[in-house]
Amino acid sequence: MIIGPKYKIARRLKAPIFEKTQTQKFAMREARKTKSKSRERPKTDYGLQMTEKQKARMFYGVSEKQFAKYVIGALAKKGASPATSLLTTLERRLDNVVWRAGLLPTHRAARQAVSHGHFLVNSKKVYVPSYSVKKGDVVSIREGSKGSKMFAHLNESEENKINPPVWLSWNKEKRELDVQDSAIESTELLFDLGQVIEFYQR
């Protein structure tokens, strides 16, 4: 998916949704700009919901069509809130899983690595970044890719810094990620998925 100029998009959405905008320098620059701006017209409910949708979509690097499909699926599920179902669907994408675990530095890098066949799920090569992992799945690096520069940090002391979320478990000896059954937390999200759901329910 072609995203466009990340700094410009992050400024428009007023959230550091890309890894390159999650720096102190960017935050200080935006803080200065905010102080110097004149009063802005408050957004309508529709405008706020649209902004939250764009934040979520850009954060995960998902196309408009794919994102809408995820939301429709979340709304159709029973037994859980649509926002929780949507978060689970987005977080369990394979490209997001390897990024969350710290195996690659950015969503874009993770998406490219999956597309090029560098990862296996249950010992089978997967080329689809949107592939959804489930409880009990084992994600590993393809044997022929372990010597690649993109995974060089796994052979150094920096491997100790790998700190996946609670629903993922990193096996240091086997260099594998085990998908656990723990609930996916939403406390650190840069967007409101409740507003996103409301946008599609209009």
- Residue 4 predicted with pLDDT over 60: no
Top-ranked range on mean pLDDT: pick from 43-47, 106-110, 115-119: 115-119
* CATH architecture classification, 6-89+188-200: Orthogonal Bundle (1.10)
Averaged over 66-70, what is the pLDDT?
96
Residue 90 and residue 60 in contact, taking contact as beta carbons nearer than 8 Å: yes
Residue 57 and residue 67 in contact, taking contact as beta carbons nearer than 8 Å: yes
Query: Which has more pLDDT, 81 or 160?
Result: 81
Looking at the DSSP bridge assignments, the partners of residue 150 are none
Numbered ranges of CATH 1.10.1050.10 in the chain: 6-89+188-200
Averaged over 123-132, what is the pLDDT?
96
What pLDDT is recorded for position 58?
Answer: 87
Numbered ranges of CATH 3.10.290.10 in the chain: 93-179
What pLDDT is recorded for position 105?
Answer: 87
Residue 113 and residue 150 in contact, taking contact as beta carbons nearer than 8 Å: yes
What pLDDT is recorded for position 49?
Answer: 93
Per-residue confidence band for 159, with pLDDT thresholds at 50, 70 and 90: low
- Residue 158 predicted with pLDDT over 60: no
What pLDDT is recorded for position 2?
Answer: 43
Angle at 130 between CA 129 and CA 134, to 5 degrees: 110
Could you give the CA distance from residue 67 to residue 148 in angstroms, rounded to a whole number?
32
**pTM of the prediction?**
0.80
Per-residue confidence band for 147, with pLDDT thresholds at 50, 70 and 90: confident
Could you give the CA distance from residue 47 to residue 168 in angstroms, rounded to a whole number?
35
Residue 66 and residue 74 in contact, taking contact as beta carbons nearer than 8 Å: no
Could you give the CA distance from residue 19 to residue 30 in angstroms, rounded to a whole number?
15
What pLDDT is recorded for position 172?
Answer: 82
Report pLDDT digits (tens) over 22-50.
666 655 665 555 554 556 677 798 989 99
Q: Under CATH, to which class is 93-179 assigned? A: alpha beta
Report pLDDT digits (tens) over 178-198.
999 776 766 578 899 999 999
What DSSP string describes the chain? -----HHHHHHHHTS--SGGG-SHHHHHHHHHHHHHS---PPPPHHHHHHHHHHHHHHHHT--HHHHHHHHHHHHH-SSS-HHHHHHHHHHTBHHHHHHHTTSSSSHHHHHHHHHTT-EEETTEE---TTPBP-TT-EEEE-GGGTTSGGGGGGGSGGGGG----TTEEEETTTTEEEE--PPPP-TT-SS-HHHHHHHHT-
Averaged over 88-112, what is the pLDDT?
93
